[in-house]
């Protein structure tokens, strides 16, 4: 009987591997469908606004621009705005997904972990001390601030015997974000000129950005996206725990370093281009997991497509909600993203009861 009881006793649970909810062909079909949805939102971004135009007029403006046609001028003015939305949305969503994977924390996000706050403070200091203007000046400050904030959060969370646990990372990031926000406000209060230069950038916006901004940030965003998208397999290993990842042949320190570098590049460039925009990196990865499961090889590319959908959708909504003016996209993403995240938290809580 003792032998039988021993045989029936369950052994240690095997670590959960990333689940695949659908086969590769079905997931590829979903990816193509998501790309088509993104294309539809790009067309909507070019045609919808305080002055809406038809799809035919939009196509004529792109293919045969007539300087004397006012509708053509409206469409062409929206092209760089749409391109910025594509780049920044993809950057923030991929950065959020990668952070959630490397920190093994579903609440990890460039905003919650203080990375955006570090970039914002560095930009404010650059404006105040050096008189910087435009993305070409902001971007290097944003990189420095985002990188410094990431290092400080990880160093603080690493204190103690347990090391940088997911909970400690979230707590350290939230505390640092609050402290950096206070320092930012202190600098702004002390200088009216800095406040005037910073206040419109701070709320997060896609308007008023031209091809010069795109040319400045696009190379950095492409490099950051390439680094981040290449870490899908590594993030799958890290999701199983550091010991299992080492057993699978992963260099955990190097993997975290490469992922963190990609996240810093994406957050710094996106923040320099459009200002601090919240909720994109937090909400989109959770939406993607509802569709494709927990495999980061799919989460990252889906996030790169759905991030611009959310950002462009919020921008379009902001153009039409209070005509003839508009609400900045940084405000609209919070309005759209907060209710979804509350629903998601309640859904997960109810599922655990």
Write the CATH number for 232.
1.10.3470.10
In this structure, is residue 2 part of a structural domain?
no
In this structure, is residue 58 part of a structural domain?
no
SS3 67: coil
SS3 306: helix
Q: Looking at the predicted structure, is the pLDDT value of residue 42 above 80? A: yes
Give the mean model confidence (pLDDT) for residues 88-115.
Answer: 88
Q: Looking at the predicted structure, is the pLDDT value of residue 215 above 80? A: yes
Give the model's confidence band at 107: pLDDT under 50 very low, under 70 low, under 90 confident, else very high: confident
Whether 103 contacts 255, CB under 8 Å: no
Give the model's confidence band at 349: pLDDT under 50 very low, under 70 low, under 90 confident, else very high: low
**pLDDT score of 353:** 42
Q: Looking at the predicted structure, is the pLDDT value of residue 20 above 50? A: no
In this structure, is residue 163 part of a structural domain?
yes
Q: Looking at the predicted structure, is the pLDDT value of residue 322 above 60? A: yes
In this structure, is residue 132 part of a structural domain?
yes
Q: Looking at the predicted structure, is the pLDDT value of residue 13 above 50? A: no
**pLDDT score of 81:** 92
Instruction: Write out the DSSP string of 117-177.
Output: HHHHHHHHHHHHHH---SHHHHHHHHHHHHHHHHHHHHHHHT-STT-S-HHHHHHHHHHHH
Give the mean model confidence (pLDDT) for residues 142-168.
Answer: 85
Which range of residues forms the domain containing residue 338? 67-352
Give the mean model confidence (pLDDT) for residues 25-44.
Answer: 94
Higher per-residue confidence, 203 vs 102:
102
Q: Looking at the predicted structure, is the pLDDT value of residue 269 above 50? A: yes
Distance CA 286, CA 345 (A): 10
**pLDDT score of 86:** 96
Higher per-residue confidence, 50 vs 2:
50
Higher per-residue confidence, 228 vs 50:
228
Give the mean model confidence (pLDDT) for residues 45-62.
Answer: 88
Give the mean model confidence (pLDDT) for residues 229-239.
Answer: 89
In this structure, is residue 183 part of a structural domain?
yes
Distance CA 240, CA 14 (A): 10
Give the model's confidence band at 222: pLDDT under 50 very low, under 70 low, under 90 confident, else very high: very high
Residue 29, CA distances (Å) to 25, 90, 124, 302, 311 in order: 6, 20, 44, 12, 23
The pTM for the full model equals 0.84
In this structure, is residue 221 part of a structural domain?
yes
Structure tokens at 284: 């989109």
Q: Looking at the predicted structure, is the pLDDT value of residue 5 above 60? A: no
Q: Looking at the predicted structure, is the pLDDT value of residue 78 above 50? A: yes
**pLDDT score of 120:** 85
Residue 121, CA distances (Å) to 25, 210, 276, 280 in order: 45, 24, 11, 20
Query: For the segment 300-315, what is each residue's pLDDT rounded down to a tens digit?
Result: 999 999 999 999 999 9
Task: Give me the count of residues in the chain.
Answer: 353
- Total tally of structural domains belonging to the chain: 1
In this structure, is residue 184 part of a structural domain?
yes
Give the mean model confidence (pLDDT) for residues 143-160.
Answer: 88
In this structure, is residue 126 part of a structural domain?
yes
Give the model's confidence band at 201: pLDDT under 50 very low, under 70 low, under 90 confident, else very high: low
């Amino acid at each position: 009987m003792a032998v039988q009881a021993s045989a029936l006793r369950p052994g240690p649970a095997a670590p959960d591997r990333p689940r695949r909810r659908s086969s590769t062909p079905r997931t590829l079909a979903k990816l193509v469908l998501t790309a088509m949805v993104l294309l539809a939102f790009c067309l909507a971004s070019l045609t919808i606004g305080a002055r809406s135009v038809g799809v035919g007029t939009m196509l004529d403006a792109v293919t045969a621009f007539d300087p004397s046609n006012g509708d053509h001028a409206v469409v062409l003015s929206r092209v760089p705005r749409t391109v910025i939305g594509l780049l920044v949305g993809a950057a923030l969503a991929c950065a959020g997904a990668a952070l959630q994977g490397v920190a093994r924390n579903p609440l990890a996000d460039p905003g919650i972990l203080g990375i955006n706050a570090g970039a914002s403070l560095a930009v404010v200091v650059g404006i105040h001390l050096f008189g910087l203007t435009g993305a070409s000046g902001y971007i290097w400050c944003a990189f420095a601030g985002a990188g410094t904030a990431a290092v400080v959060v990880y160093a603080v969370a690493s204190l103690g015997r347990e090391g940088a646990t997911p909970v400690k990372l979230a707590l350290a990031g939230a505390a640092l974000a609050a402290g950096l926000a206070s320092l930012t406000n202190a600098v702004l209060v002390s200088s009216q000129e800095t406040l005037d230069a910073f206040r419109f950038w701070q709320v997060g916006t896609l308007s008023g950005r031209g091809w010069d901004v795109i040319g400045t940030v696009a190379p950095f965003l492409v490099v950051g996206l390439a680094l981040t998208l290449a870490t899908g397999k590594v993030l799958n290993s890290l999701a199983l725990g550091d010991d299992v990842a080492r057993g699978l042949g992963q260099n955990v320190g190097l993997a975290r370093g490469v992922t963190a570098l990609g996240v810093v590049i994406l957050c710094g460039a996106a923040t320099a281009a459009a200002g601090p925009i919240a909720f994109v990196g937090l909400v989109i990865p959770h939406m993607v997991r509802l569709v494709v499961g927990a495999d980061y090889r799919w989460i990252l590319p889906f996030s790169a497509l759905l991030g611009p959908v959310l950002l462009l959708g919020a921008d379009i909504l902001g153009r039409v909600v209070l005509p003839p003016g508009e609400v900045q996209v940084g405000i609209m993403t919070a309005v759209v993203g907060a209710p979804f995240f509350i629903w998601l938290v309640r859904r997960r809580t109810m599922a655990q009861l």
